[in-house]
Amino acid sequence: MKKLISATFGATFAALLLASGAAKALEGEIKVGEINSYSALPAFTEPYRKGMELALKEINDAGGIKGKKLVIISKDDGGKPADALTAANELVSRDGVVMISGGFLSNVGLALADFAKQKQVVYIAAEPLTDAIVWSKGNDYTFRLRTSNYMQAAMLAEEAAKLPAKRWATIAPNYEFGQSFVAVFKDLLKKKRPDVEFVAEQWPPLNKIDAGPVLQAIDAAKPDAILNATFAGDLVKLVREGNTRGIFKDRAVVSYLTGEPEYLDPLKTETPEGWIVTGYPWYGIKTAEHQAFLDAYQQLHKDYPRLGSIVGYSTVKSIAAVLKATDDHTTDGIVKAMKNLKVSTPFGDIVYRAGDHQSTLGAYIGTTAQQDGKGVMVNFTFKPGADYLPPEAEAAKLRPAN
């Protein structure tokens, strides 16, 4: 499966390049490695791949990296840290890439970050959300694109603090992502609302939730509000069971990632109303940057983008930006150029902070609703990432001494 996915991805990119007269004229190439959970989490990674394809086409059509073709060699990790490390070793030792990128699950991202440190190769973590990747386990070689657990928890806690709810329960997958998100949300909400208490926790295994007992335990604690961090198939099962049991009736719900089309679309008429969520309302964003991306994406793929599309596109744009920013494509040269690197994305310009290697990519916050039998985000606003990060000097203190 891994070889098939990698070969298909490479063939797709090759076809895009051959279709471009500008790409044919490029001399030489620069190879970058990319690793993701294509077979394990296709709802996110297929749109992610399409976003990368669009960015790569735009870059090479415009002359590549100072006249050299940008080539991305992609591999599937199956959602397993060990497979991700095998792929990273192959990319660096056999394929001769100048840097690696990608990652979805936080435990996989942390494994790749440690690989980057040990092998002294630059790693742009595209999707992993754990704060550890840039703070407690941060290193000189790892940079993170996606709006982090801390940032999105701060955005959600800001809205949660406005609710009258005092008794909270939490549901999150039992691995690094869920554990770290719940911890930081609790801390940030309690700072804003010292009167709140957390009365129940449920930690279902990723992709193996038994929603009935989970919700029964939550309901028994009689919370006023629920924090949810399940996603993908686990979210669908949770919502379906919760609707059947009436668990969400007359209770506020704050739900991480649920407004992303990847996870909202499958709910259709089961979409709960009024949940406070982070997500991507692609159909309602009216900025010039996003409209240009949306038009190009739909023209190339005949489909609408998901949040994964934004992440994939912005990852490749970040790779191109750093390779254009320096003629020194050694690890030291790329690390130096990554610090304070400015990149244009469909969500506006972002900066990879020198102090902690976290980008300032923001996120959309809104509430769930149903329109025409589909789940959508309404009443949404964009939250700039820089507004929800600690100052760089403080964040730098969270990182280990190197």
CATH classification of the domain holding 10: 3.40.50.2300
Residue 388 neighbours by CB under 8 Å, 6+ apart: 150, 151, 152, 154, 155, 362
Tokens 């406070």 found at: 276
Is residue 85 assigned to a domain? yes
Q: Which residues contact 55 (CB under 8 A, 6 or more apart)?
A: 312, 313, 314, 315, 316, 317, 320
301 and 186 in a common domain: no
Residues 136 and 159 in one domain: no
* Residue span of the structural domain in which 291 resides: 2-148+286-362
Residue ranges of the chain with per-residue pLDDT less than 50 = 1-8, 11-12, 14-25
Establish if 402 belongs to a structural domain.
no
pTM over 0.85: yes
Count the domains in the chain: 2
Q: Which token pair is 126?
A: 């595209």
Is 254 found in the same domain as 305?
no
Closest CA to 260 of 151, 181, 366: 366
Shared domain check, 30 and 95: yes
Residues 339 and 238 in one domain: no
pLDDT at 9: 53
In a domain, 401, yes or no: no
Residues 302 and 249 in one domain: no
Q: Would residue 398 count as lying in a domain?
A: no
Residues 71 and 136 in one domain: yes
* Residue 397 in domain: no
Same-domain check for residues 82 and 125: yes
* 8 A C-beta contact, residue 278 and residue 365: yes
Nearest to 305 by CA among 294, 290, 315, 318: 294
Are residues 32 and 117 part of one domain?
Answer: yes
In-domain check, residue 335: yes
| Res 26: pLDDT | 62
Q: Is residue 395 part of a domain?
A: no
Is residue 396 domain-resident? no
Q: Does 368 lie in the same domain as 278?
A: yes
Q: Are 180 and 111 within one domain?
A: no
Handedness of CA 42, 45, 49, 51 (dihedral sign): positive
Asked if 91 and 192 sit in the same domain, the reply is no
